[in-house]
Structure 1
Amino acid sequence: MADPNRRTLVKEGASAERTVRELRNQILQGRLLPGEQIRQEEVAEQLRISRVPVREALSVLASEGLLTHRPHQGYFVTKRSPEELAQIGLMLALLEEELARTIVWPTAEVVVELRSLNEDMARLVDASEWVEMVALNHEFHLRIFGLSSLKLVLDEVRRLWMLADAFIAIDYATRERRRRTVAQHERILKALAARSRTRLLKSIRDHRDSTSVGARASMAHHST
């Protein structure tokens, strides 16, 4: 006979995952704005679930940096100052550059897999629901940076990307920017296939500098 407590835990776990996806999408698409409070009872009512999986989902999103928890007040969509974004962008620029310098060249099979990821992104360029591009973009870049042996540096890049996710997503708000991202990825792929370190570094720099976070890092760098 099935354990009813286990069934409840499985159901709540699935509800928490669905809540994480829904809130993340709303944040990345700008439907929940920086500084806006997330009220547990409203989310539970909207998704027709109990507050238990909502609390779990809010904790997950806070660990990713998309939400900020204030004791005795609740959860709020993380709001970052231009200076903070510039610092995040600057750290990403420095660490990603080092990862790109130290990758081992991928096999032809890996290049094919990376091209498939970019093709998945291309299929979302004209879509109204494009938010999956954010996760695909993560996978594309982290697969490349994962070719480096600098695993601690890679872990830090992952952390910084989570902090910047809502702001990186700004670059997908228009069809033109989504198309530009796919084209820039294609240039990165060509550099990888040609095994040209110079072309790879340039294509990654150009791609990063064209993003909102990258632009802030560039401005911060040139102002010092």
Structure 2
Amino acid sequence: MIADNIAAVSTRETRGGAVVRAAIDIRELVLQRVLLPGEQVRQEDLAHQLGISRGPIREALQVLAVEGIVRYERNRGYFVTRFTSDEMRQLYLIRELLESEVLRSLPPMCEDDLTRLRKINDEIRTDENSGEVIRLNRAFHDAVTEHSSLTLLKGQLATIGRMTLAYQSLSINALSDRHVVVSDHDDMIAALAAGDNDLLVDIARRHRKASLDRLIPILS
């Protein structure tokens, strides 16, 4: 009996690990635009591509549907979530309302944290891999907001970030000059160093608008 219970726990843990791995791999396919917004996600193809059985793939897709990365259509299956230009404007408006409050709530930032932000931004400046740049950009913004006590608002921001994963990649790839992003980040770091949260909010608003302005012509 004990042996059976141990075996059952081990099986669940192994399956749980496969589901986590599948979810990570599928997110990466969306981030790298291998799977495009509106594209059907075929479980058989993913199982073959990722080397994971269909059971964990199916469970991973259920997780990603909750996150908003994919959506399920009855009798049709899963599709990468696609947003219209109007929906994207709404998402950016929600993001602005949430992020502005989070930024205003930030305590003074210590020198070690400022140094970490500068290091991440220097990596964005020099890295040639667009997928890595997207991850670094997310890491930069997470590091900016991590000391806010508004945990519920930060959770909602993270939800929007997951929902728009494919479009973050699209926005970065649409850049004609990455210096625009890096320069905005430099200005954000300077505002944080000065303890000027109102200026930080204004710079972040400009930063979001530039991203949205790159996306809207593509989505329209």
Give the TM-score normalised by structure 2: 0.82
Check the 8 A contact 1:92/1:160 in 2, yes or no: yes
Aligned-partner SS, 1:86? helix
Check the 8 A contact 2:25/2:50 in 1, yes or no: no
Aligned-partner SS, 1:209? helix
Check the 8 A contact 1:90/1:214 in 2, yes or no: no
Aligned-partner SS, 2:52? coil
> Which residue in 1 is equivalent to 2:137?
137
Q: Give the deviation of 1:213 after TM superposition.
A: 7.0
Distance 1:151 1:25 in 2: 26
Aligned-partner SS, 1:211? helix
Q: Which runs of 5+ in 2 are unaligned?
A: none
- Judge which range, 23-32 or 42-51, deviates more: 23-32
Q: Is 2:55 aligned against 1:52?
A: yes
Distance 1:20 1:170 in 2: 20
Distance 2:156 2:41 in 1: 27
Check 1:49–1:158 CA distance in 2 against 1; reply closer, same or farther (3 A cut).
closer
> Which residue in 2 is equivalent to 1:85?
88
- Aligned residue pairs total 213
> Which residue in 2 is equivalent to 1:212?
212
> Which residue in 1 is equivalent to 2:168?
168
> What RMSD in Å do the two structures reach over aligned CA positions?
2.7
Q: Which runs of 5+ in 1 are unaligned?
A: 217-224
Aligned-partner SS, 2:88? helix
Distance 2:146 2:40 in 1: 36
Q: Which of 103, 111, 116 does residue 108 from structure 1 map onto?
A: 111
Q: Is 2:156 aligned against 1:156?
A: yes
Structure 1 letter corresponding to 2:58? R
Distance 1:52 1:178 in 2: 41
Check the 8 A contact 1:170/1:212 in 2, yes or no: no
Identity of aligned residues (%): 32
> Which residue in 2 is equivalent to 1:222?
none
Distance 1:132 1:12 in 2: 29
Give the TM-score normalised by structure 1: 0.81
User: For each residue in 1:1-42, what CA deviation from the matched residue of structure 2 results, as whole angstroms up to 9, or x when unmatched?
Assistant: 9x6656654544444333323322222232222221111111
Structure 1 letter corresponding to 2:209? D
Check the 8 A contact 1:121/1:133 in 2, yes or no: yes
- Judge which range, 3-12 or 56-65, deviates more: 3-12
